[in-house]
Structure 1
Amino acid sequence: MNENTYICETLTIPGSNKMTALNSLRSYAALAKSRTLEAFSYTWLAVVGALITTRGSPQIVPTVLAALTAFTISLCVYIYNDITDMEMDKLNPTKSSRPLPSGRATKEQAKKFVCLAGITGLVLSFFVNFETFLLCAFWLTWFLAYSTPLLRLKKRLILKESTPALGYFLSTVIGAKATGYITPTVVFSGLLSGLFIFFSLPAFRDTTDIKEDKLHGVRSLATILRWKHRLEMVILAVLAIMTLTPLTYANFGFNAIFPIIVVAMGFLLLRFLFPLASGIEEKKYRSALKVGTVYFFSIQISMILGALPIMF
C-alpha cells in the first residue's frame, strides 16, 4: 500500500506540466489585463515625452524601448499594489472582480509576474541609457515603497495622490531622456499632467475607495474631505490649466494649438463637473469620469501638436 502510494505521488501525468504553464500564462494575462488603463497611461506618457522633446521626430528604437520600459514597470508596481491590497479589494464592488481577490490568479503567480515585469523594465531601461535606468530605478523604488507593508506610503496623507502624479511626471521625463534631452517644455508638460491627476484623484478614482481606505487606515484626501471640496479641487485644477496654458505656451516653445485644445476641452469637462455640485448622482458621475479621462488624454495630444515646428 505504501509502495503504491509512493508511486502515485511521484508519477508525472503526461501534459500536466504544459497545463500548469498554460494556466500560469492565463493568470499572467488576466493580471496584465486588469491594469490595462494604468499601463497604457504610463506608456502613452513616455511616448508623449519622446514626441515633445524631439518636436515630433523621435528615434524609433529608443522610443519603443522607453514605451516598453514604462509598460512593464507600471504593470510591476500596480500588480504589486494589488497583492498588498487584496483583502481591501475584496470589499470593493468593482475591484473584487480583479484576478487576485476573485481567485483567478494566486499570490504566488502575481509575485512571479511582479519580479518578471520589474526586472524586464530595468533591463530595457539600461539598454536605453544610464540616466533612463536611474529614473526607472527611482520610479520602481518609490512605487514599491508606496505599497509595501513595511513603509506603506499610501497610508500617509497626500502621498496616495502625489505618488501617481509623480509617476506620470516621471514617465514623461523618461520618454524625453530616452530620445533626447529633458527640456523645460518636457518638465512643464509632465507637471501639467501630474497636476491634473493629483487634484482629480480624490473626486474620481478615490471616491470609490473611501470605505476600504477608512477601514484599513489609509488617509487619503477622499477620506477626509467632503464631496463638495473634492469636486472643487478638480474644478480649480481645470481652471488653473485653462488659465496657465494661454499665458505661458509661447515661453515653453508651444504653438497656439496647445492652448486652444486645452481651453476647449476644459470648458467641456466643466460642463459635466458643475452638475455634480448638488451631490453624486451615479449617471452624472460616470459621465464626468469618462469626459475627465478624455480630457486627460486630450491634454497630451494638444502638447504633441503644440510641440510641432509649425507657425500657428
Structure 2
Amino acid sequence: MKSAVGTVTSYSWTLIFSDFKEITKARLALSVVFSSIAGYFLGAYEIEWSSVALLAIGGYCMVGASNAYNQVIEKDLDALMSRTRNRPVPSGRMTPRTALTIAVAMTVLGVIILYFLNPKTAMFGAISIFLYTSVYTPLKTVTPLAVFVGAIPGAIPFMLGWVAATNDFGIEPGTLFMIQFFWQFPHFWALAWMLDDDYKKAGFRLLPTGKKDKGTVVQVIMYTVWMIIISVIPYFGITGRLQLSLTGAIIILLMGLAMLGFAFRLFEKRDHTSARKLMLASVSYISLMQLVYVADKWISQLWI
C-alpha cells in the first residue's frame, strides 16, 4: 500500500514538474538565460558568481512569466493547433487561474531578483514582459508586424546581461540588442514557414507577406545580411568596450555566411526541409556567436 501511494505521489510530482516546464517553456527560457549570462560576461570587469546566479534565476522568471501569460491569453487558440493543443491549459491539466498565478508570482519574483542586481536590469525585464504579453501576443492574429514588436523583448536578454554587469545602457548593450534583434527575423520566419499551416488554424499572421513565397524569403535574406553586418561591427572599434578581434570577426563572419547560405537555399527550394535547416542554423549561430564573443574578450585580455 505504501509503495502504491509513493508511486502515485512520485508520478504526480513528475507531472506537475513537466507541466511547469511546459507552461514556462523551459528550453526557450534556458536559451534566454544563456544569452543573458553571455552579455554579463561581456560587460563585467570581473565575474561575480552571485550576480550570475541572480541573473539566471531572475531571467528565467521573466521569460517563464511571459510564456505563462501567453498561454493563458491564447488558451483557446492553442487548442486549435496540433503543436499546442496538449499544453497544460488547453488540455485541461492546468486551470487558467493556476497558470495566471504562476505568471504573476514569477513576474514579482523576477523583478525583485533583477532589482537586486540594479534598477535598470529590473526595468528592462519588466518592459520585456509587458511588450511580449500586452502588445506582441494580441497582434499575432492581426498583422505580420507582430513579429517586429516581438523582436524587441526577444532582443533584450543579450543586452540585459551587460546592463546587469554595469548598471549602464550605452552603445555596447545597444549593439548586443541589435544583433539579437536582426537575428530573430530569419530565425522566426523559418519557424513560421514550417508551422504556417498550423498557425493558420488559429488565425496567426506571422510571415511577412502572409505566404510562403519568394517575397518572404527575400526579407529573410535581407535581415540575415543585416545581422551579419551588426555582428562584426565591434571589430572596427566603434562600439566602446564591446570589441572583437580580427580572428573573432572572421569566425563570426563565416558562421553568418553559412547561415546566409541556408537562407538562399530556402529561396531556391521554398520547402519545409530548407526552412528547418535554416531554423537550426540560426539556433547554432546565435549560441556560437555569443560564445565566440565571450571567448574573444577573455582571450584578448590574457594578451594585454
Name the count of aligned residue pairs: 292
Distance change in 2, residues 1:306/1:225 (3 Å): farther
How far apart are 1:216 and its partner, in Å? Answer: 4.9
Please give the alpha-carbon distance, in whole angstroms, between the structure 2 residues aligned to 1:263 and 1:257.
10
* Equivalent of 1:228 in 200, 209, 214: 214
Deviation per CA, 1:6-29, whole angstroms, max 9, x where unpaired? xxxxxxxxxx9xx89984773354
List runs of 5+ in structure 2 lacking aligned partners: none
Please give the alpha-carbon distance, in whole angstroms, between the structure 2 residues aligned to 1:295 and 1:139.
23
SS of match in other structure, 1:116: helix
Partner of 2:109: 120
Partner of 2:253: 263
How far apart are 1:54 and its partner, in Å? Answer: 1.9
* Equivalent of 1:133 in 113, 119, 122: 122
2:228 is equivalent to residue 242 of structure 1: yes
* Equivalent of 1:179 in 161, 165, 168: 165
Deviation per CA, 1:133-168, whole angstroms, max 9, x where unpaired? 2222222222221367xxx23345354212332123
How far apart are 1:208 and its partner, in Å? Answer: 4.3
Structure 2 counterpart of 1:67, one-letter code: A
2:61 is equivalent to residue 75 of structure 1: no
Partner of 1:31: 20
Residues 33, 59 of structure 2: 8 Å contact kept? yes
Distance change in 2, residues 1:301/1:189 (3 Å): same
Please give the alpha-carbon distance, in whole angstroms, between the structure 2 residues aligned to 1:70 and 1:155.
27
Identity of aligned residues (%): 18
Please give the alpha-carbon distance, in whole angstroms, between the structure 2 residues aligned to 1:147 and 1:22.
36
Please give the alpha-carbon distance, in whole angstroms, between the structure 2 residues aligned to 1:29 and 1:162.
31
Rg bigger for which structure?
Answer: 1
Partner of 2:180: 193
How far apart are 1:183 and its partner, in Å? Answer: 3.9
Partner of 2:244: 254
TM norm structure 1: 0.80
* Equivalent of 2:32 in 35, 42, 46: 42
Structure 1 counterpart of 2:174, one-letter code: V
Partner of 2:297: 307
Structure 1 counterpart of 2:51, one-letter code: P
Residues 209, 215 of structure 2: 8 Å contact kept? no
Residues 227, 279 of structure 1: 8 Å contact kept? no
How far apart are 1:289 and its partner, in Å? Answer: 2.1
Please give the alpha-carbon distance, in whole angstroms, between the structure 2 residues aligned to 1:90 and 1:79.
15
1:8-157 matches, within 5 Å, as 23=12, 26-33=15-22, 35-54=25-44, 57-146=46-135, 152-157=138-143
How far apart are 1:123 and its partner, in Å? Answer: 1.6
List runs of 5+ in structure 1 lacking aligned partners: 1-15
Distance change in 2, residues 1:23/1:306 (3 Å): same
TM norm structure 2: 0.81
Please give the alpha-carbon distance, in whole angstroms, between the structure 1 residues aligned to 2:194 and 2:209.
10
